[in-house]
Structure 1
Amino acid sequence: MNKKIGMIAGAVALAGVVGTGIYHAEASSSNEGQVQIVEEENITMEDATKKLEEEYQGTVKELELDEEGNKLYYEAEIIVENQEYDVKMDAESGEVVYEEVDDDGYDDRYDDDRNMEENQQDTTVENENSNSKNNLIAQEEAVKIAKQLFDGEVVDMELDYDDGRYVYEFELVNGQQEADIDIHGETGDILSLEVEYEDD
Structure 2
Amino acid sequence: MKKKLGIIIGTIAGAAILGTGVYYSNADEATPKLDGDKIKSMVQEQYDGQITEFELETDRHKAVYEVEVTNKNVEYDLELDGDSGEVLKENKKEINQTKNGNSEQAQINAAKEKLISMEEAKSIAKKQFDGKVMSMELDGDDNQFIYEIELRNGKKEAEFEIHAENGEILKQEIEIEDDHDF
TM-score for both structures, normalised by structure 2: 0.67
Give the deviation of 1:82 after TM superposition: 3.6
Secondary structure at the counterpart of residue 116 of structure 2: coil
User: CA 1:46–1:136 in structure 2 vs 1: closer, same or farther (change >3 Å)?
Assistant: farther
Task: Decide whether the 8 Å contact of 1:132 with 1:186 is kept in 2.
Answer: no
After TM superposition, the runs of 4+ consecutive aligned structure 1 residues lying more than 4 A away are none
Secondary structure at the counterpart of residue 100 of structure 1: strand
Question: How far apart, in 2, do the equivalents of 1:183 and 1:157 lie?
Answer: 11
Give the deviation of 1:149 after TM superposition: 0.9
5+ unaligned residues in a row in structure 1: which ranges? 1-38, 105-110, 119-128
Question: How far apart, in 2, do the equivalents of 1:168 and 1:46 lie?
Answer: 17
Output one character per residue of 1:146-187: Cα deviation in whole Å (capped at 9) or x when no partner.
111111110111011223222111011112221110111121
TM-score for both structures, normalised by structure 1: 0.61
1:96 equivalent among 71, 87, 90: 87
5+ unaligned residues in a row in structure 2: which ranges? 1-30, 96-102
* Cα RMSD (Å): 3.0
Give the deviation of 1:103 after TM superposition: 5.1
Q: Which residue of 2 aligns with 1:146?
A: 125
Residue correspondences, number = 145
Q: Which residue of 2 aligns with 1:188?
A: 167
Task: Decide whether the 8 Å contact of 1:60 with 1:76 is kept in 2.
Answer: yes
Q: State the identity as a percent.
A: 41
- Bigger share in helix: 1
Answer with 1 or 2: which has the greater Rg: 1
Task: Decide whether the 8 Å contact of 1:137 with 1:188 is kept in 2.
Answer: yes
Secondary structure at the counterpart of residue 135 of structure 1: coil
2:49 equivalent among 54, 58, 78: 58
Question: How far apart, in 2, do the equivalents of 1:130 and 1:84 lie?
Answer: 11
Q: Which residue of 1 aligns with 2:100?
A: none
